[in-house]
Chain A
Amino acid sequence: MSDQSINEIQDEIIDEFAILGDDKESTVFYIMELGSNLEPLEDRYRIDSNLIKGCQSKVWLEAELEDDRLVLKADSNTDITKGLISLLIRVLSGQSLDNVINADLYFIEKIGMHNVIGSQRSNGLASMIKQIRLYAIAYKTKLQSQS
């Protein structure tokens, strides 16, 4: 579980990317490195129902509830996309449902992600965020109906 708040983690990421400066090549290499370090998803989660629509490369996303917090696992067939996912997981996984639902993910704009990954990728990233929020909302609704 994450002890840091969403915004603390976002600020950390912004600082890390600031070290890379505005050199796109180093930034993309860094994202790819993050991607290749991401733990691969177990095969049982790499199923069509976990695929996110709107992503050009394949993205599988699995969201579970542990102690009222959202735990995210994800994978992709391309390392750059995996790198993007790893950032989202770092920021959002282990956070409370309300914090995920209400998160203002300002780090994406701050690190100039749009310029780095282009417009098609950016749409894919937006789809991933939307899907994560939908999972959080679905779990919240489920919890409320149980109480």
Chain B
Amino acid sequence: MIREQFRILSREINGRPLVYFDNAATTQKPDVVINAISEYYQDYNANIHRGIHTLAEKATEAYEGTRRKVKEYINASSSDEVIFTYGTTDGINLAANSLGRATLNKGDEVLISAMEHHSNIVPWQMICEERGAILRVAPINDAGELIYEEYLKLLSEKVKIVSIVHVSNSLGTINPVKKIIADAHAVGAYVLIDGAQAAAHLGVDVQDLDCDLYAFSSHKMFGPTGVGVLYGKRAVLDLMPPYRGGGEMIKEVTFEKTTYNDLPFKFEAGTPNIADVIGFSSAIDYINALDKNSVQEYEKKLLEYGVSKLAEIDGLKFIGTAKDKISVISFIIEDVHPFDIGMMLDAGGVAVRTGHHCTQPLMDYYNIEGTVRASLSIYNTEAEIDILAEKLKAIVKIKRK
């Protein structure tokens, strides 16, 4: 039933049915999302906000409709707190540059964790260098879980910003973000949560979490690429200066002085990615129409099945065995390079990701070059996991000959 809504899933790769296990990189898009994008271009393509004609009115309504839908999806208190970005990376760059400039001074600290994606490392390194601030890293244990006591030890009055991933892309670990946020607030730090991997798998309630900023991407939750959201509490967004200048983000411009627009527009300079924001709206509708509990149960069942099947393979070692994790299975096989595994699986129609997954410091921690990562989504099946396991067995057989 679900698979029929994703046309791409019925195609073949090298004469074999596609098995798509690269959902943590990007999910596939259901037909409703693809149709919404074509419909915009075919029926009401226009630039938004300033136009007075019918098409502009309709496009603006659809674009702002997505904002209201996102507000509901993450339970923000106002749609003014929903800033459209080009993706999670873009949102974190906005936050680092803007909140970083507003809060960081020489000797201040930014605290991240050892399991961060490069997107939640590099922007902070850059702003720390500019402001003379120091980047601190909270360590993890071998299972791939944050060592909470160490995190608490690093939290001091010097820490102005904590930026932590909700769900690790390489390991699948779910971090206890609510607690992380509360403890960071106790020392007066602002908290950004990188929600790229969480938004599709977990329900996100930004008011319940009490995070100051939350960044995520549309394309990892069945929506189009090139769209993301940076949620921010109004009080926090108000103290953040604009990051990019241009059209849309201004109230009045003279050569002497410019006054900036109100939220959320002060952070949305230039013509945004209108079509894909509209497509994103359909992706949220799509997720909302699914039963959240049964989706989570199904993904949990897939994960358990996958782990039990892959555990049978000779020399296979799981990387990331947190108690609380989403349906991401990262592993290495003794004496077989992840790249060889990825190439051979692809030749047989199975799409996985191999390498460092943009988390090189994390790979350094495990002292490995990279892993093979199978990341599962709602349209994957146990039969597909069987295919993966069989192919891995065949690969190992060649090597052990």
Q: Residues of A with Cβ closer than 8 Å to B?
A: 23-25, 27-29, 32-33, 35-36, 56-57, 77-80, 116-117
Question: Hey, what's the 0/1 contact readout for B320-345 against A, CB within 8 Å counting as 1?
Answer: 00000000000000001101100110
Q: Say yes or no: B340 contacts A79, CB within 8 Å.
A: yes
A23-B15, A33-B398, A36-B399 known; A28 and B344 CB under 8 Å? yes
A and B contact pairs by CB, cutoff 8 A, 13 listed: A24-B14, A25-B14, A28-B344, A28-B347, A29-B344, A29-B394, A35-B340, A36-B398, A77-B337, A78-B339, A79-B340, A80-B343, A116-B347
Complex: A46 Cα to B81 Cα, angstroms: 56
**Other-chain residue from B339, B348, B394, B401 in contact with A80 (beta carbon distance below 8 A):** B339
Q: Say yes or no: A27 contacts B339, CB within 8 Å.
A: no
Complex: A113 Cα to B224 Cα, angstroms: 33
Judged by a CB distance under 8 angstroms, whether B7 is at the interface is no
| A80 surroundings in chain B (CB, below 8 A) | 339-340, 343-344
Judged by a CB distance under 8 angstroms, whether B301 is at the interface is no
With both chains docked as a complex, state the minimum distance between the C-beta of B22 and any C-beta of chain A, in angstroms: 15
Q: Which residues of chain B in 359-401 are interfacial with respect to chain A, using CB atoms and an 8 Å cutoff?
A: 394-395, 398-399, 401
Complex: A57 Cα to B355 Cα, angstroms: 11
A33-B398, A36-B399 known; A25 and B347 CB under 8 Å? yes
Secondary structure at the A interface, as helix, strand, loop or mixed, is helix
The residue of chain B having its C-beta at the shortest distance from the C-beta of A23 within the complex is B15
The residue of chain A having its C-beta at the shortest distance from the C-beta of B14 within the complex is A24
A32-B398, A33-B398 known; A27 and B337 CB under 8 Å? no
The residue of chain B having its C-beta at the shortest distance from the C-beta of A33 within the complex is B398
The residue of chain A having its C-beta at the shortest distance from the C-beta of B369 within the complex is A77
Complex: A131 Cα to B124 Cα, angstroms: 41
Complex: A56 Cα to B337 Cα, angstroms: 13
**Other-chain residue from B340, B347, B395, B398 in contact with A27 (beta carbon distance below 8 A):** B347
Complex: A29 Cα to B395 Cα, angstroms: 8
Judged by a CB distance under 8 angstroms, whether B317 is at the interface is no
A24-B347, A25-B348, A27-B347 known; A32 and B340 CB under 8 Å? yes
With both chains docked as a complex, state the minimum distance between the C-beta of B325 and any C-beta of chain A, in angstroms: 28
Complex: A117 Cα to B344 Cα, angstroms: 10
Q: Which of B15, B336, B394, B398 has the most CB of A within 10 A?
A: B398
With both chains docked as a complex, state the minimum distance between the C-beta of A7 and any C-beta of chain B, in angstroms: 28
The residue of chain B having its C-beta at the shortest distance from the C-beta of A22 within the complex is B15
A28-B343, A28-B344, A29-B344 known; A78 and B399 CB under 8 Å? no
The residue of chain A having its C-beta at the shortest distance from the C-beta of B399 within the complex is A36
Q: Say yes or no: B347 contacts A78, CB within 8 Å.
A: no
Complex: A79 Cα to B395 Cα, angstroms: 11
Complex: A2 Cα to B21 Cα, angstroms: 45
Question: Hey, what's the 0/1 contact readout for B1-38 against A, CB within 8 Å counting as 1?
Answer: 00000000000001110000000000000000000000
